[in-house]
């Protein structure tokens, strides 16, 4: 997937960051689902806005999901 991003709005910068993350993680060849795209974009936008509250809450949610998955496995 090739994305052309123009401008320097918060949304455009967040989208560029999302694209860089997807490329770095090797997800550009189809390893992205809707949930990953939206949650990662949300985190990128929060990072651009320096919205630490959103980032902290999402980190807590992610930790809770990991703990729940461990309980289900164990």
Domain residue limits, the chain: 10-73
Report the C-alpha gap between 61 and 2 in whole angstroms. 31
Q: Which residue has the higher pLDDT, 44 or 2?
A: 44
pLDDT in tens, 19-70: 999 999 999 888 899 999 999 999 999 889 886 666 666 777 777 788 888 8
**Contact at 8 Å (CB) between 26 and 36?**
no
- Does this model's pTM top 0.75? My answer is no
**What's the rounded Cα separation, in Å, for the pair 39 and 51?**
14
CA distance 36 to 16: 15
């Amino acid at each position: 997937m090739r994305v052309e991003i123009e401008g320097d709005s918060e949304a455009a910068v967040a989208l560029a960051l999302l694209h860089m993350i997807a490329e770095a993680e090797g997800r550009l060849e189809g390893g992205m689902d809707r949930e990953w795209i939206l949650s990662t974009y949300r985190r990128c936008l929060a990072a651009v806005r320096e919205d630490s509250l959103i980032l902290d809450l999402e980190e807590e949610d992610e930790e809770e999901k990991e703990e729940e998955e461990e309980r289900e496995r164990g």
